[in-house]
Structure formats: C-alpha cells, structure tokens
C-alpha cells in the first residue's frame, strides 16, 4: 500500500524557496575559471561525469532488478540518481582531503546543467522498466514539464548567484560560507519536520526505505571510489569522485516529487531519507578515508 504524506501547498512553496536559496548559495562559489581550471586533468573530469551520469544510474537499475521494489520506491531511486551532486559534497571533500578544485568543478557542472540532464536521465533510465513508464504516465507529466520547471527552480537561482558573486565579490566573500551552512541546516530542518509530520507513514515503511537508501548510497560511494581507482586516478581524485557520486541533491528530488508526482509517498520517503542518510554516510566515509585509503593507488 502506497504511504500517504501530508504536504500542504505552503510547504511546497517553502521547499521551493529553500531549494532556490541552496542553489543561490552553491552559485556564490562558482566562477567561470572553474569550468577551465582542470582542462589539463581531463581524465579526472571524465571519471566524475561517467560516475555521476552512468555508473550511479546503472547501479540503481541493478538494485531495482535485484530487489524489485514497489514502483514508487524504484522511481524515487532513479530520480535521486538523476539529481545533481549535493552542495555538501565540497565540505566532505575537504574533510576527506580530496581534490577540492575537482569537487567544486564537478558540482558546478552538474548543478548548472541539471535543468536538462536531470529530466533526460530520469526518463531515459525509467524507460528501461515498462511498468515504471506506465506509472509515470499516470501522473501525466513529460520531459518538457520537468525541463521548464527546473529552469525556474534551479537554473535561474544559479545564474543569479553567479552574477551576485561577479558584481559583488567582496560581499560574496563575507557571506558565502554562512549561506552554505545555512542552506544545509535549512534543508535538514525541513526534511526532519516533514518526516516528523508524516511519522506514521515513515515508521510503517522505515525498514524498507532505510535499507534501500543505505544500499543505494553505499553503492554510489564505494562503487565510484573503486571505479576511479581502477582508472588509475590518484587517491585525492578517488575520494572526490566517490563523494560527488554519493552526495546527491535530494532536496531537488523532493521539489519535483511534490510538484509533478502528486507527492507520491514512496518516492518522497526515498528522497527525504536519502537527504538525511547521505550526510551521515558522508561524514563517516570522509572521516575513515582520510585516515587510510581503501586501496593503495599505483
């Protein structure tokens, strides 16, 4: 039985504002130079893109085949995998002693082009399962619905933040760190309040959602680390690729779920719990990996 969540129009408006503030904060630290500074390290960039847009979705498909979750849970997994990297990834990369320049660059690319890549990735990977395609059609949405909505909630705040940083650079230096911390706190608080207000639905489905998200997130972190290691990147790059792949912008997923998927309970629980869990796993992974590499790079 599909869990029913209580989520008012005012809550959706607040979540949209929260996401816009998060993306504005991300953009404050994006500079044009970030799109060129690693042009001499194309291998690391390509590894990051392949891990984010191919490895994680493929791993998601494998998990769906193996565990055959309900359609709502499966769609939630695919949507989270299609979202850009989360803004906490830069912090975790710093904590893990990874390649911060690579982390910021990958976050910049994935965030700036998410308005086209997220709907494209979601519909492409969901189409592999006929039953999921039918489920999507029941919501009467299509690629262009998501595309146009994401321009407003994602691209425009990013461009506004980049313009703010360019023309008000001194102010940006003073507020960037505070905005980043506040945006993370706001999203965590919003998700926790939403889970509290829907604690019955969450409690009834926690065992299923918990393990799906834990496995999904672990696959992102560890699979990406191994993938980068096998491609013979250096250790700092391996750590960064893992974090950029395992830390996803689940807040965007929640906005899309409540805007286009009628607040589908299963999808929302996956995105909400991912938003909490990836911060826990991000801290644990970063703390452990900085102490000792999983593999010794060659």
pLDDT tens, position by position, 155-185: 888 888 888 888 888 888 888 878 878 877 8
Closest CA to 125 of 189, 58, 67: 58
Between CA 103 and CA 189 the distance in angstroms is: 25
**Of 264, 253, 275, which Cα lies nearest the Cα of 3?**
264
The pLDDT assigned to 239 comes to: 95
Return the pLDDT at 82: 94
* pLDDT over 70, % of the chain: 90
* Overall average pLDDT of the 61-90 stretch: 91
DSSP conformational letter for 211? H
All residues at 6 or more sequence positions from 105 whose CB lies less than 8 Å from its CB, including other chains = 34, 35, 37, 38, 45
CB 45 within 8 A of CB 101: no
Q: What is the pLDDT of residue 247?
A: 92
Instruction: Look up residue 183 and give its two tokens.
Output: 């945006």
For 211-236, what is the mean pLDDT? 95
Render pLDDT for 147-159 as a digit per residue (tens, 0 to 9).
Answer: 887 788 778 888 8
pTM, two decimal places: 0.84
Q: Is the pLDDT of residue 63 over 70?
A: yes
CB atoms within 10 A of CB 9: 8
pLDDT for residue 6 is more than 80: no
Confidence of residue 297 (pLDDT cuts 50, 70, 90): very low
Other CB atoms within 10 A of residue 254 CB: 31
Please tell me the predicted confidence (pLDDT) of residue 161.
87
Q: Supply φ then ψ for residue 92, to 5 degrees.
A: -65, -35
């Amino acid at each position: 039985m599909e869990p029913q969540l209580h989520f008012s129009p005012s809550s959706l408006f607040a979540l949209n504002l929260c996401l816009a503030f998060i993306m504005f904060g991300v953009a404050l630290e994006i500079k044009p130079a970030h799109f060129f500074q690693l042009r001499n390290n194309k291998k690391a960039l390509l590894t990051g893109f392949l891990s984010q847009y191919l490895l994680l979705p493929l791993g998601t498909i494998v998990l769906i085949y193996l565990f055959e979750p309900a359609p709502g849970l499966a769609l939630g997994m695919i949507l989270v995998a299609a979202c850009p990297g989360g803004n906490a990834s830069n912090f975790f990369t710093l904590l893990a002693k990874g390649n911060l320049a690579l982390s910021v660059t990958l976050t910049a690319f994935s965030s700036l082009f998410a308005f086209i890549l997220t709907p494209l990735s979601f519909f492409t990977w969901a189409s592999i399962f006929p039953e999921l395609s039918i489920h999507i059609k029941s919501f009467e949405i299509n690629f262009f619905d998501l595309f146009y909505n994401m321009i407003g909630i994602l691209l425009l705040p990013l461009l506004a933040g980049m313009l703010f940083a360019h023309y008000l650079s001194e102010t940006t230096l003073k507020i960037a760190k505070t905005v980043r911390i506040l945006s993370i706190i706001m999203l965590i608080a919003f998700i926790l309040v939403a889970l509290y207000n829907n604690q019955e639905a969450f409690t009834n489905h926690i065992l299923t959602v918990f393990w799906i998200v834990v496995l999904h997130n672990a696959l992102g972190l560890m699979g990406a680390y191994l993938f980068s290691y096998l491609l013979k990147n250096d250790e700092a790059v391996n750590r960064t690729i893992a974090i950029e792949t395992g830390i996803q912008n689940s807040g965007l997923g929640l906005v899309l779920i409540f805007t286009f998927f009628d607040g589908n309970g299963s999808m929302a629980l996956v995105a909400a719990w991912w938003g909490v869990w990836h911060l826990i796993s991000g801290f644990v992974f970063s703390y452990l990996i900085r102490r000792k590499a999983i593999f010794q790079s060659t």
